[in-house]
Structure 1
Amino acid sequence: MSSQQIPAGLAAAAQRFGRYLEAERGRSAHTVRAYLSDVRSLLEHAAFEGVEDPAGLELGTLRRWLGSQSEAGMSRATLARRSATARAFTAWAVREELIQTDPALRLKAPKREKSLPGVLHQQQVLRLVEGAESAAAEGGPMPLRNRAMVELLYATGIRVGELAGLDVDDLDPDRRTLRVLGKGNKERTVPYGLPAALAVDDWLRRGRPALATGSSGPALFLGVRGRRVDQRQVRSVVHDLLAALGDTAATGPHALRHSAATHLLDGGADLRAVQEILGHSSLATTQIYTHVSVERLRQSYQQAHPRA
């Protein structure tokens, strides 16, 4: 189906929904754009069927929309996400009295494919940080920054967006803890170890002053022009370091988050403590890492036990 002009009634509802997500739910601009992209796809389909305003949305419309997405080759994970977005939109519309009865209450979507996150072995992480250290030893502010970012990502398991949003005063060097603003503007405190502390201190002493300008503000990590580093730059740095390993399919910062969580559990950390460190709202989200750890334990058992 070609792009469809959305009627004014539907377009206005989408705009109000976006403002609600940002102002009342505290969603980031990136998350709001993702929600609205899905909502626009739904509303374009609804307009194609002749729907003029939210009150005209029906369960059949939602099902046919998801069906068209499936026929277009969307993955089950994408369909599940779009179904969740539709339910969030129609539930909001009911609360705003734009719809009398929620048409998405009986909407079902394919379950997400269950997949375990990619995890680096501890020796791979060691080689990764050694690569960053070697580059930093050659001098220049950027390698110092890159080393500090990688050490901190692995030490804390924070998300790439959380790293990019850090300010200098979010660090507590004496206690080696970090104040992080996570999803939904929820604040948490995360510890980090000595290697990360040394790398960050080196960046603050020798790297950041060389890049800082009047527009740098309090940002902990800076780009080449002195502005706050963005997520794309962080991903590029980690991607290049992972590619240099040559023996992993992992491609971005989330691999360091996955690895940090798994290595904590492998080392005996409590599941709820790992949940707090990662900033997961649900323990079920953290539990996927126990599957990774159990699988690694099973492999070790089969390799080592004489009667395995």
Structure 2
Amino acid sequence: MTDIIPANEYQALDRADRMIIAGQAANQAAQGAVFADYRSRKAPNTLRRQDNDLAIFARFLAQVHLSPGDLANDSQAWQGITWGIVAAFIQWQLRAGYAVSSVNMRLSTVKVYAGLAALAGVIPAGELAMIRQVKSYKRTEQVRLDDNRAAAGVPTRTGYKKALPVSLSKKQAAALLIQPDTPQGRRDRLMVALLIGLGLRVGELAGLTVDNFTLTDGTVIFYRPKVDKIQTHKLDPISLAALRAYIDSGDAPETGSIWRQSLKGRGLDSCGLSTRAICKRIRYLGERIGIKGLSPHDLRHYWATQAARNHTPLDRLQDAGGWASLAMPGRYVEAAKIANDGVRREE
């Protein structure tokens, strides 16, 4: 309390006044730790995405001659940020050709950190309320906005991320599972089988180890950072057969990562595959059967689409896919519906 009032004066106060001062001291302590506390609770992937969002926000601030500080860690860096600046940031991104979905995500990140800055006493409550009123774009608005940008010759997406997934047919999915009976081919078949059969994210796939699998009961246990859960999944027959072939042939390592890197002579080398290497390999496997731009996420998309078409209950699809809410699996279920099913026409 001595930061607020000398100790002798504090002791001379009555209980009510001491409680007020103690509350002020507690607020000061909490304000100083609000950013660190928030970030300590988040997964590394979340922090990487947020840091990237804030780096782009900092680039915008620099271009409009505002000196950005450490927006991710220092509450004082948010001094002077207003709803007008946030709204201008959105328009700057749109003119630069960023995807609307990315613009929406960055707006969400800015709102979160502006809220933290308000808790730290840097952004006034009234200004925070105005910042929260800056609206993201709805799906229908995104389509119209992109049409208008395209007509004006403005890009609607920067970088390499695709606007839409590559949709696979059952025939194409089956073709991806046909791989040579070589060390590399057996590894690739297991990789594709797990993506198609379990709907894993590429990071989840890359993180699999030999110890995650139990051949006797045909299961795999793995961590899902997106929802901070450890899950056990039953392997489908194709994935289980691919796993057995990979292990029984001696291709799989004895310990550590289940994956081994490729050698130019079609053999396998040291343990471990990065997400980038897996993405590159899936793209190559797709091109080999005439599919351009295939990604691991496209195979996850195929898994979810097939599960929805087979009438998987929404809550089961959410759990199996590792989604935090029903919103994303709900899209797959909605897309799988036959729009005119049940419509009666006069004979």
Is the TM-score greater than 0.5?
yes
Contact 2:94–2:103 (8 Å) recurs in 1: yes
Q: Secondary structure at the match of 1:226?
A: strand
Question: Which whole-Å CA distance do the structure 2 matches of 1:242 and 1:292 have between them?
Answer: 24
- Aligned-pair distance for 1:218? 1.7
Amino acid at match of 1:82: R
Question: Which whole-Å CA distance do the structure 2 matches of 1:89 and 1:207 have between them?
Answer: 50
Question: Which whole-Å CA distance do the structure 1 matches of 2:138 and 2:296 have between them?
Answer: 26
- Aligned-pair distance for 1:49? 4.5
Partner in structure 2 of residue 109 of structure 1: 136
Contact 2:200–2:300 (8 Å) recurs in 1: yes
Q: After the TM superposition, which residues 293-308 of structure 1 pair with which residues of structure 2 at under 5 Å, given as runs?
A: 293-294=336-337, 297=338
One of 86, 89, 93 as aligned partner of 2:117: 93
One of 142, 155, 172 as aligned partner of 2:184: 142
Matched, 1:36 2:51: yes
Once the two structures are aligned, what percentage of the paired residues are identical? 23
Partner in structure 1 of residue 108 of structure 2: 84
Name the CA shift for 1:96/1:223 in 2 (closer, same or farther; >3 Å).
farther
Contact 2:200–2:321 (8 Å) recurs in 1: yes
Partner in structure 2 of residue 8 of structure 1: none
Q: Which has the higher contact order (CA 8 A, sep 6+)?
A: 1
Question: Which whole-Å CA distance do the structure 1 matches of 2:41 and 2:167 have between them?
Answer: 35
Contact 1:18–1:36 (8 Å) recurs in 2: no
Q: After the TM superposition, which residues 82-231 of structure 1 pair with which residues of structure 2 at under 5 Å, given as runs?
A: 82-101=106-125, 102=128, 104-112=131-139, 113=142, 117-130=165-178, 132=179, 135=180, 137=181, 139=182, 141-182=183-224, 183-209=226-252, 212=253, 218-224=256-262, 225-231=269-275
Contact 1:272–1:283 (8 Å) recurs in 2: yes
Q: Secondary structure at the match of 1:203?
A: helix
Consecutive unaligned residues in structure 2, runs of 5 or more: 1-33, 69-76, 144-162, 263-268
- Aligned-pair distance for 1:299? 9.1
Consecutive unaligned residues in structure 1, runs of 5 or more: 1-15
One of 304, 320, 324 as aligned partner of 1:277: 320
Amino acid at match of 1:158: L
The normalised TM-score by structure 1 is 0.78
Q: Secondary structure at the match of 1:104?
A: helix
Question: Which whole-Å CA distance do the structure 2 matches of 1:194 and 1:259 have between them?
Answer: 17
Amino acid at match of 1:121: S
1:21-55 Cα offsets, whole Å, 9 max, x none, are 3x311232xx4333212212223433535466312
Amino acid at match of 1:124: Q
- Higher deviation after alignment, 216-225 or 259-268: 216-225
Q: Secondary structure at the match of 2:79?
A: helix
Name the CA shift for 1:55/1:239 in 2 (closer, same or farther; >3 Å).
same
Question: Which whole-Å CA distance do the structure 2 matches of 1:208 and 1:226 have between them?
Answer: 11
Amino acid at match of 2:109: T
Question: Which whole-Å CA distance do the structure 2 matches of 1:301 and 1:151 have between them?
Answer: 36
The normalised TM-score by structure 2 is 0.70
1:87-115 Cα offsets, whole Å, 9 max, x none, are 12212323344434325211212234478
Name the CA shift for 1:91/1:77 in 2 (closer, same or farther; >3 Å).
same
- Point out the structure with the larger helix share: 1
Contact 2:227–2:323 (8 Å) recurs in 1: no
Question: Which whole-Å CA distance do the structure 2 matches of 1:252 and 1:61 have between them?
Answer: 36
Question: Which whole-Å CA distance do the structure 2 matches of 1:278 and 1:222 have between them?
Answer: 25
- Aligned-pair distance for 1:184? 4.3
Contact 1:145–1:207 (8 Å) recurs in 2: no
- Aligned-pair distance for 1:18? 8.4
